[in-house]
């Protein structure tokens, strides 16, 4: 499944977005709602899929990264665009740029791919300004996940529950949320370890 890239596409222009009333999903104009079952077009390939004349590049090389809707949610809904960074997901097929500090840290540090397909870190990611054109490049690369910069710079903080036992980790989460209320949680299916995120105003 692939879409033609419109070089004039602007993520900040509301006219470039569509809304699916059924699923309450916002997505790129000219592409199908990701939650609706696609209807094959006359130009669809034998494997199925869509062809569209507009707007958004999609996942035809590597699909481990964040979706367009993920980036939209964190940027426009949560207002975190100024503190979003890309992150190369871990995978055996990821090639790290020789000499990069990213070695053995894939999926844990802000990172991206260079033009030769090698992953590398970003300098001064803790405090550098995030430019809007950078954000558009990152969200247009389906190989990249999203990092949220935490701390005073963003007002977003996290509690890291570094416990492998799922039952014990769940007990800790319940104790915390008994005080704070429900918090966004990041976790893996095969581990009890998780991360709870929250905003704290100065």
37-64 pLDDT, tens digit each: 444 333 333 322 222 223 333 333 456 7
Can you spell out the DSSP letters for 75-136? Answer: IIIS--GGGEEEEPPP-TTPEEPTT-TTTT-TTTS-EEE-TTSEEEE-TTTTT----HHHHH
User: In the predicted model, is pLDDT for residue 176 greater than 70?
Assistant: yes
pTM: 0.64
Q: Locate the domains of the chain by residue range.
A: 1-58, 73-148, 156-199
> What is the reported pLDDT for 35?
56
Residues 49, 117: Cα–Cα separation, whole Å: 26
Q: How far apart are CA 118 and CA 106, in angstroms?
A: 12
The whole-number pLDDT of residue 182 equals: 92
């Amino acid at each position: 499944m692939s879409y033609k890239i419109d070089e004039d596409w602007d993520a900040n222009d509301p006219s470039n977005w569509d809304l699916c009333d059924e699923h309450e999903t916002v997505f790129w104009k000219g592409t199908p709602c990701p939650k609706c079952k696609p209807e094959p077009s006359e130009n669809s390939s034998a494997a199925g899929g869509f062809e569209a004349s507009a707007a958004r590049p999609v996942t035809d090389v590597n699909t481990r990264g964040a979706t367009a809707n993920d980036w939209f949610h964190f940027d426009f809904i949560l207002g975190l665009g100024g503190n979003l960074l890309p992150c190369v997901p871990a995978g055996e097929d990821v090639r790290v740029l020789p000499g990069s500090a990213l070695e053995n840290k894939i999926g844990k540090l802000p990172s991206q791919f260079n033009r030769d397909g090698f992953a590398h870190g970003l300098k001064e990611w803790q405090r550098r300004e995030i430019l809007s054109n950078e954000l558009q490049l990152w969200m247009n690369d389906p190989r990249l996940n999203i990092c949220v910069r935490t701390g005073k710079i963003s007002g977003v903080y996290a509690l890291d529950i570094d416990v492998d036992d799922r039952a014990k980790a769940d007990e800790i989460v319940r104790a915390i949320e008994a005080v704070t209320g429900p918090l966004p949680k990041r976790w893996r299916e095969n581990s009890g370890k998780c991360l709870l995120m929250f905003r704290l105003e100065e």
